[in-house]
């Protein structure tokens, strides 16, 4: 019979508790459990030590009991080097798209943008630069792959228009993709040639779909364009809503 998630967490905590007993000669407070004094002092300490959206944890074992009720509004959890994070906590952070960062670790994985759908036509990400940019900025974002640019654009535009999402299409045929995308109601597609052009498109039309040809660009330029798109405004300016379609 498969081990239940809560059973696995209990096993991890018990193993660590016994190891601590062997090393220290006495039974410590159960791993991942806060004392009353720690709980009372924690909010003030966190306000001093943590930035907005950060949850710093000093415990050596990070359990669901420890983080329960403390993750709302959090985008990054900081844990000590060598801390044990139970599988259920990792799953919860992944579901909430919260970054788990170890003290001294600068290579924390960036959570993929919520609501973004990535379309890749043909071999658009075959270059090392394109693959690295996608991996660094988009992580595990929903991805649609197809050899045919028409099919990629069809699926991405359908997701963007029907579910109020944003889309990124990587293709070696950007003019074709752009033309196809903008035939769909509610789609405001822009061609990303550099980060400045992307930011301008966000400001002028609130682009909700970006088309990029990765081949001519290096990894840093691709990452800059993706960031500019994800962080920009995606609502259509009121003065253009009737002409461009989309929002009522």
**What confidence tens digit (pLDDT) does each residue in 152-200 have?**
999 999 999 887 889 999 999 999 999 999 999 889 999 999 999 999 9
- More confidently predicted of 192 and 114: 192
Q: What is the pLDDT of residue 38?
A: 44
At 174 the pLDDT is: 97
Please report which confidence band the pLDDT of residue 110 belongs to, taking 50, 70 and 90 as the band edges: very low
Q: What is the pLDDT of residue 6?
A: 60
Average pLDDT score over residue span 229-243: 84
Q: Are 195 and 234 in contact (CB under 8 A)?
A: no
- Is residue 118 predicted with pLDDT exceeding 60? yes
**Which has more confidence, 126 or 2?**
126
> Given a cut of 50, is residue 47 above it in pLDDT?
no
Residue 225 pLDDT exceeds 80: yes
- What's domain 116-244's superfamily in CATH? Sugar-phosphate isomerase, RpiB/LacA/LacB (3.40.1400.10)
**What is the location of CATH 3.40.1400.10 in the chain?**
116-244
What is the C-alpha separation between 146 and 161, in angstroms, rounded? 20
> Band of the pLDDT at 16, cuts 50, 70, 90?
low
pLDDT at 62 over 80: yes
The mean per-residue pLDDT over the stretch 61-89 comes to 87
The rounded percent of the chain whose pLDDT value lies above 70 is 73
Does residue 243 register a pLDDT over 70? yes
Q: What local confidence, expressed as pLDDT, does residue 60 receive? A: 85
Q: Is the pLDDT at 18 greater than 80, yes or no?
A: no
Residue-averaged pLDDT of the chain: 79
Predicted confidence (pLDDT) at residue 245 exceeds the cutoff of 70: no
Q: How confident is the model at residue 45 (pLDDT cuts 50, 70, 90)?
A: very low
Identify the pLDDT of residue 19: 62
């Amino acid at each position: 019979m498969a081990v239940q998630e809560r059973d696995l967490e209990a096993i991890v905590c018990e193993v660590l508790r016994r190891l601590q007993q062997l090393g220290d000669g006495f039974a410590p407070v159960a791993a991942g459990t806060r004392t009353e004094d720690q709980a009372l002092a924690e909010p003030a300490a966190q306000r001093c030590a943590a930035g907005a959206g950060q949850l710093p944890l000093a415990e050596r074992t990070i359990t669901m009991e420890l983080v329960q009720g403390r993750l709302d509004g959090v985008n990054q959890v900081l844990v000590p080097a060598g801390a044990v994070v139970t599988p259920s906590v990792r799953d919860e952070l992944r579901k909430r798209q919260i970054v788990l960062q170890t003290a001294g670790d600068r290579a924390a994985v960036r959570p993929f943008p919520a609501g973004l759908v990535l379309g890749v036509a043909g071999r658009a990400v075959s270059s090392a630069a394109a693959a690295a940019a996608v991996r660094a900025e988009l992580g595990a974002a929903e991805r649609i792959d197809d050899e045919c640019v028409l099919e990629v654009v069809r699926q991405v535009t359908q997701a963007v228009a029907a579910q109020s999402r944003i889309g990124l299409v990587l293709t070696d045929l950007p003019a074709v993709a752009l033309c196809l995308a903008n035939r769909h109601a509610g789609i405001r597609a822009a061609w990303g040639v550099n980060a400045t052009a992307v930011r301008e498109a966000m400001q002028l039309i609130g682009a909700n779909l970006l088309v990029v040809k990765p081949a001519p660009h290096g990894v840093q330029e691709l990452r800059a364009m993706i960031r500019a798109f994800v962080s920009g405004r995606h609502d259509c300016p009121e003065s253009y809503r009737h002409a461009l379609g989309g929002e009522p």
